[in-house]
Chain A
Amino acid sequence: MKKVQFLATLFFTGVMLTGCSDDNDPPELINEEEVITTFTVTLTPNATGTAVTLQTKDLDGDGPNAPVVTVTGNLTVGATYTGRIVLLNETESPAEDITLEVEKEADEHQIFYTFAGLNATAVATNNDANGNPLGTKFTLTAGAASTGSLTFTLRHEPKKPNTGLADAGGETDIEVTFPVSIQ
């Protein structure tokens, strides 16, 4: 019996040692597949003038660095703009266009526009298959001169149709605020 136990100990120690030395290769790098690093809104005036780009970029995702927000210019009093939203995951190379995924699952997504202190309105111009707004494309109408902020909120699995953000529910995938002036 003692011999058996000794042999058993030897055997299992052997198993463990071989178990230990199997692979010391470093593991594979994982790039976050779903993270949205870059949110870009291009506002192209329907009349003449230069386009305005609003962008927020956070290359480290949930990491400690805050997003970098850029606004290329002011909106013009009374002008109407065609808005286009592009979502990118730039941790992957080449960058993955997440807008395509959102538009493909339009019935489960919606973008909301919130103006604060800004005399402007926006209306979604693209819809999901059920005719409810999606909002990656929109029309923005600037009113009188004012300064404030414009917030875009992307909700995943909201209640559709809804009467607005307060009623939509779902989870917030994106919430970005830009300082904007109308002059």
Chain B
Amino acid sequence: MRIYVLLLLLLSNFSAISQNCNNTLSGKVIDLHDGSLLGGATLIVAGTEQTVVSDIEGNYTINNLCDLSYNIQVSHPFCLTKGILVKVNGNMTRNLYLEHHLEELNEIIVKGLSYNQKSNSIIEKKIGGDDLERFSSGSLGDALNSLSGVSSLNTGNTVVKPMINGLHSSRVVIINNGVRMEDQEWGAEHAPNVDINSTDNITVIKGAGALQYSGDAIGGIIITESSKVAVKDSLYGKTISTSASNGRGGSVSSQLTKSYKTGWFGTAQGTIKRFGDFEAPNYMLSNTGIFERNASFRVGLNRFKYGFEAYYSLFKNNIGILRASHLGGAQDQVRAINSSRPLIINDFTYDINSPKQEVTHHLARFKAFKRFDGLGKLSLQYDYQQNSRLEFDIRRGDNRDKASLDLKLTTHSVMLDLESKLSETLNLKSGMVTRYQNNVANPETGVRRLIPDYDKYDLGIYGILDYRLNDQWLLEAGGRFDYTFMDVFKFYRTSFWESRNYDELFPEIVIEESNNQILTNPQLNFYNTSATLGANYAFEKEYKISFNYSLASRAPNPSELFSEGLHHSASRIELGDLRFKSEIAHKFTLNFQREHNVFSFSVNPYINTINDFMVIEPTGIQQTIRGNFQVWEYRQTNAQLLGVDVDAVFEFARNLRYTHQFSLVKGYDQFRDNALINIPSANTKNEIIYRNPEFQNLRLALQSDFVFRQNEFPDNNFEVFIPETQTTEIVDVSTPPDAYHLLNFSSSMDFNMNEKSILTLGFNVTNIANTTYRNYLNRLRFYTDDLGRNFLLNIKINY
């Protein structure tokens, strides 16, 4: 081979000397945006009018060229025609890059193909376009709930925490516009600080195998992204407004993008959302309003060879927590649980009083990339996040308006990533990340810190190889190593310190002792390894089977390590453990799918075995002056989760389609031989959709959502003596509520306003039958029914 090349070079030299007109120019025609090869492109040499067409793999060859400069016009049905000047000197190879038309880009975005595959062998679920816009007035968690295998742990209906295959909080990593969210995500009552309107596409990866993002996503990864901006002179945008009857509020979100054919672009986006108290079918849910304000800005330069982007977003949220859920001890819990209605019901109001959460999240990112020939695409990213979380409880006296929790979490990350094509069939993704995080708890609260002050340092390195064996087989393997160091200042209650024997185990970390409290300086190191191995087999055009094994390791979060005190909104005392080590998960997933015009499906069974799984559960009752409280302690155990997600689509007639989803997950504590708490019950969603593109793009859909009762749960009930009645009562904090069935309707129609603008009107009803129900995964289910019927009106204008 090498000899031929040498010969070729020698020959071309001779020909150059002899001024021969026998030169050959060859190469590939390539899509500037995604690097795909463009077959069927027409190349016309100006002057000679010689015309050639590229073959299916984008190859072209032009013969009989002299040692001159030529202007070659390259055109392709999907691309802007481009003139390229080539100075021919002997036989040459040159790749030519073309840009897409805007229309084509949009089309691809709708299909979700303009996004890179995140992982080759783990099932990915996407939501974007209209499906996402229907949730404009809701939250990220609401939108994700519409996917199979994804559920949510709720606190009321505004704090919606995504759950993937039964796992949540620190076990689910959210990558928001390329940035790993650091927003006190350990808390079960802390919803992700992401504006659903700032994203165009959400991908859920049900596993930890996408190692370029993290190695500790034992549950899975949620990725939100914005559409790529077309390289074209253009100005476009959209405004979506939603009004809802339940909560008597709504949201407005606007987005405007300006782009230039030079590759420069800028986008501005903003959302405002306001609701008052929501309503269950039979009563008002007092103090459940929400007020959210978000904005984001993006500017950048997008060229094929290089580019950069700067992004900033602000998320500000004020959420009321059901007033009747703020309780004293066990005797209050008995009253609240035994009552069929919330103990406090007031008239409707937009006011948000204590208990409430006020969260502000700033996120800034700067990213640049450059493609190097022979090396690949190298990107460098720096991001900054600042999360300030205030939580207000019902307090007395001068402390009335003071937050009980006041945390400020600051995170800086630098990431370096390289995507290389080692050969036609072998790709390598590799990179590293360094991260510094600082948490400060404001001492002004007058309440002992729930989470201590700490500095945290992370270093991660990864590599993922994928190899295309042939048309059928694709293999993938990857590894990642993460080092975490935590430098913590924590005040322990002396009594707790001694009751845990920490005085004998960790005498060296004590700094000083005063007033019933001990100041300590724990310094913790965690070394985590994660890996992924998978294969993808495609056959008979429409079928695909993929298998993946992921090893994930997660260091304990600050709450699992350091909790020590009363958790008001749960009416229980929570205790962490300083001795915890990382939990390690082994997840095997299988996915069998068919993609077909009439009948498509995917079946996705999985098994996740987690060693040293951190779980919080009740261990006893503690007497205090305020009464008795149940004590919940974190413990490490071995856990196993197994389940299956099923999706099916059947286009049974023209314009009519039926979609089906079924998810089942079981979770077991292998030490105690018992079910795990808060595992989603089996559920199935079935929907009939009518769509007529010829009549104003009319869309009508009726959805049935059936949630089974969770029959496997640990019995955490306890007894409490009630002095006023001189009786002993059982506090039932375990029994799951009954199964329920909800019917939802959605519809939309498009109207052309003028050449450039489209108006889309949508009308939706959720919980049509105004069904009274309680959801096992709603933390307020003990105190109140879930939401009643809701009418929503959507108005969207694309311009």
Contact with B along A2-39 (1 / 0, CB 8 A): 10110011001101100110001011111111101101
A144 within 8 A of B: no
Complex: A108 Cα to B400 Cα, angstroms:
12
Residue on B nearest A32 in the bound complex, by CB: B448
A160 within 8 A of B: no
Contact with B along A56-73 (1 / 0, CB 8 A): 101111111111000000
Chain B residues lying within 8 Å of A61, measured Cβ to Cβ, are 493, 624-625
B484 within 8 A of A: no
Binds A, one of B228-236, B435-443, B662-670: B435-443
B414, A9: Cβ atoms closer than 8 Å = yes
Given contacts A91-B516, A169-B343, A177 and B448 within 8 Å (CB-CB): no
B626, A172: Cβ atoms closer than 8 Å = yes
A51 to chain B, nearest CB (A): 22
A33 to chain B, nearest CB (A): 3
Count A-side interface residues using an 8 Å CB cutoff.
Answer: 62
B723, A151: Cβ atoms closer than 8 Å = yes
Complex: A112 Cα to B448 Cα, angstroms:
29
Residue on A nearest B414 in the bound complex, by CB: A12
A20, A108, A114: the one contacting B723 at CB < 8 Å is A114
Complex: A27 Cα to B447 Cα, angstroms:
14
A116 within 8 A of B: yes
A105, B726: Cβ atoms closer than 8 Å = no
B328, B445, B515, B629: the one contacting A93 at CB < 8 Å is B515
B370, B416, B573: the one contacting A62 at CB < 8 Å is B573
Given contacts A16-B412, A60-B495, A169 and B399 within 8 Å (CB-CB): no
B436, A13: Cβ atoms closer than 8 Å = no
Chain B residues lying within 8 Å of A19, measured Cβ to Cβ, are 412, 436, 438
Given contacts A16-B434, A19-B438, A171-B332, A62 and B723 within 8 Å (CB-CB): no
A8, A59, A64, A116: the one contacting B382 at CB < 8 Å is A8
B626, A174: Cβ atoms closer than 8 Å = yes
B370, A1: Cβ atoms closer than 8 Å = yes
Pick from B306, B566, B724 the residue with the most CB of A within 10 Å: B724
B331, A8: Cβ atoms closer than 8 Å = no
A86 within 8 A of B: no
Chain A residues lying within 8 Å of B626, measured Cβ to Cβ, are 36, 172-175
Complex: A98 Cα to B397 Cα, angstroms:
9
A4, A31, A67, A151: the one contacting B515 at CB < 8 Å is A31
Residue on B nearest A13 in the bound complex, by CB: B414
A8, A27, A31: the one contacting B380 at CB < 8 Å is A8
Residue on A nearest B448 in the bound complex, by CB: A30
B434, A13: Cβ atoms closer than 8 Å = yes
Given contacts A34-B399, A171-B394, A64 and B499 within 8 Å (CB-CB): yes
Given contacts A5-B380, A9-B414, A34-B396, A172 and B511 within 8 Å (CB-CB): no
Complex: A102 Cα to B395 Cα, angstroms:
12
A153 within 8 A of B: yes
B446 within 8 A of A: yes
Contact with A along B444-464 (1 / 0, CB 8 A): 011111001101010000000
B329, B448, B519: the one contacting A175 at CB < 8 Å is B329
A171, B414: Cβ atoms closer than 8 Å = no
Complex: A114 Cα to B453 Cα, angstroms:
44
Chain A residues lying within 8 Å of B434, measured Cβ to Cβ, are 13, 16
Residue on A nearest B446 in the bound complex, by CB: A33
Residue on A nearest B517 in the bound complex, by CB: A29
B788 to chain A, nearest CB (A): 24
Given contacts A1-B306, A149-B723, A153-B723, A37 and B625 within 8 Å (CB-CB): yes
Chain B residues lying within 8 Å of A108, measured Cβ to Cβ, are 396
Chain A residues lying within 8 Å of B487, measured Cβ to Cβ, are 24
Chain B residues lying within 8 Å of A112, measured Cβ to Cβ, are 724
B163 to chain A, nearest CB (A): 29
Contact with A along B466-503 (1 / 0, CB 8 A): 00000000000000000000010101011110010000
B622 within 8 A of A: yes
A5, A31, A149, A166: the one contacting B378 at CB < 8 Å is A5
Chain B residues lying within 8 Å of A58, measured Cβ to Cβ, are 624-625
A30, B447: Cβ atoms closer than 8 Å = yes
A145 within 8 A of B: no
B326, A171: Cβ atoms closer than 8 Å = yes
Chain B residues lying within 8 Å of A34, measured Cβ to Cβ, are 395-397, 399, 446-447
Contact with A along B290-333 (1 / 0, CB 8 A): 00000000000000001000000000000000000011110110
B422 within 8 A of A: no
Chain A residues lying within 8 Å of B106, measured Cβ to Cβ, are none
B178 within 8 A of A: no
B720 to chain A, nearest CB (A): 10
Pick from B328, B394, B441 the residue with the most CB of A within 10 Å: B328
B724, A16: Cβ atoms closer than 8 Å = no
Chain B residues lying within 8 Å of A60, measured Cβ to Cβ, are 493-496, 516
Chain A residues lying within 8 Å of B491, measured Cβ to Cβ, are 27, 29-30
A128 within 8 A of B: no
Chain A residues lying within 8 Å of B335, measured Cβ to Cβ, are 169
Given contacts A30-B447, A33-B447, A63 and B396 within 8 Å (CB-CB): no
A137 within 8 A of B: no
Which secondary structure characterizes the binding site on chain A?
Answer: mixed
A92 to chain B, nearest CB (A): 9
B331, A175: Cβ atoms closer than 8 Å = yes
Contact with B along A33-56 (1 / 0, CB 8 A): 110110100000000000000001
Complex: A151 Cα to B722 Cα, angstroms:
10
Complex: A146 Cα to B670 Cα, angstroms:
52
Given contacts A5-B368, A26-B519, A32-B448, A15 and B724 within 8 Å (CB-CB): no
Complex: A108 Cα to B394 Cα, angstroms:
12
Chain A residues lying within 8 Å of B726, measured Cβ to Cβ, are 116
Complex: A176 Cα to B329 Cα, angstroms:
12
B624, A59: Cβ atoms closer than 8 Å = no
Complex: A176 Cα to B724 Cα, angstroms:
11
A62, B629: Cβ atoms closer than 8 Å = yes
A20, A156, A174: the one contacting B436 at CB < 8 Å is A20
A79 within 8 A of B: no
B441, A27: Cβ atoms closer than 8 Å = yes
Complex: A34 Cα to B404 Cα, angstroms:
11
A114, B724: Cβ atoms closer than 8 Å = yes
B438, B445, B452, B623: the one contacting A67 at CB < 8 Å is B623
Contact with A along B382-414 (1 / 0, CB 8 A): 100000000000111111000000000000101
Given contacts A34-B446, A60-B516, A116 and B723 within 8 Å (CB-CB): yes
Interface residues in B334-383 by Cβ distance below 8 A to A read 335, 343-344, 368, 370, 378, 380, 382
Given contacts A13-B434, A20-B436, A174 and B414 within 8 Å (CB-CB): no
A4, A16, A28, A67: the one contacting B625 at CB < 8 Å is A67
Chain A residues lying within 8 Å of B399, measured Cβ to Cβ, are 33-34
Complex: A98 Cα to B395 Cα, angstroms:
13
A85 within 8 A of B: no
B409 to chain A, nearest CB (A): 13
B616 to chain A, nearest CB (A): 16
Complex: A20 Cα to B436 Cα, angstroms:
7
A171, B368: Cβ atoms closer than 8 Å = no
Complex: A16 Cα to B382 Cα, angstroms:
11
A175, B627: Cβ atoms closer than 8 Å = yes
B565 within 8 A of A: yes
A104, B624: Cβ atoms closer than 8 Å = no
Pick from B370, B378, B414, B489 the residue with the most CB of A within 10 Å: B414
- Which 4 pairs from chain A and chain B are nearest by CB? A33-B446, A172-B328, A151-B723, A175-B627
Q: Taking A63-B496, A91-B516 as given, write out 14 further A-B residue pairs in contact, using a Cβ cutoff of 8 Å, ordered by the A residue number.
A: A9-B380, A9-B416, A27-B489, A29-B443, A29-B514, A30-B445, A30-B448, A59-B516, A60-B496, A61-B625, A64-B499, A151-B724, A156-B328, A172-B332
Binding site for A on B (CB under 8 A): 306, 326-329, 331-332, 335, 343-344, 368, 370, 378, 380, 382, 394-399, 412, 414, 416, 434, 436, 438, 440-441, 443, 445-449, 452-453, 455, 457, 487, 489, 491, 493-496, 499, 511-512, 514-517, 519, 521, 565-566, 573, 622-627, 629, 723-726
